[in-house]
Copies of this chain bind each other. A is one copy, B any other.
Amino acid sequence: MKRVKVSRKAHFNAAHRLYRKDWSDAQNEAQFGKCSNPHYHGHNYELIVSVEGEIDPETGYVMDMKVLKDYIKSEVEDAFDHKNLNIEVPEFKNLIPSAENMVVVIHDKLKKILSPGQTMEVVLYETPRNFVTYTEQA
């Protein structure tokens, strides 16, 4: 069967701050600029999760999109939405919540849904003009 990639968009809002605890405020300001504001700032994150695999000839599906949608909701939206990423999300207790680190964390949370032979790609928009992509290699 042909390999096809199925993709689902999701959405969450969160506050975050880019900084290293082991750096001074001045060092953080020099490296991260206004993104290191100690009072936090926030984003509407747009998420696109894609699963690539063979089409199941019985159903015409690579993966039931309803199942994927519900899994994204429980693993990512419920965990991140309306949260302060630095304070309330355990994965970022000791990891800077940059978009690059976030997309890898999200991939790690979601990849358990894959069947053998399937791979996952995750795209995360931090703003309409800035986004990051993590593509798992087959």
A interface, CB within 8 angstroms of B:
2-11, 13-16, 18, 20, 31-35, 37, 39-44, 46, 50, 55, 58-62, 65-66, 81-84, 87-88, 95-101, 103-104, 127-135
Contacts and interface: CB of A to CB of B under 8 A. Distances in A.
Contact of A41 (B15, B62, B100): B15
Contacts of A39: 15, 83-84, 87-88
Contacts of A31: 59
A134 B2 CA distance: 8
Nearest to A32: B59
12 contacts: A4-B100, A7-B133, A9-B130, A13-B127, A14-B41, A14-B42, A32-B59, A42-B43, A59-B98, A60-B96, A61-B98, A65-B130
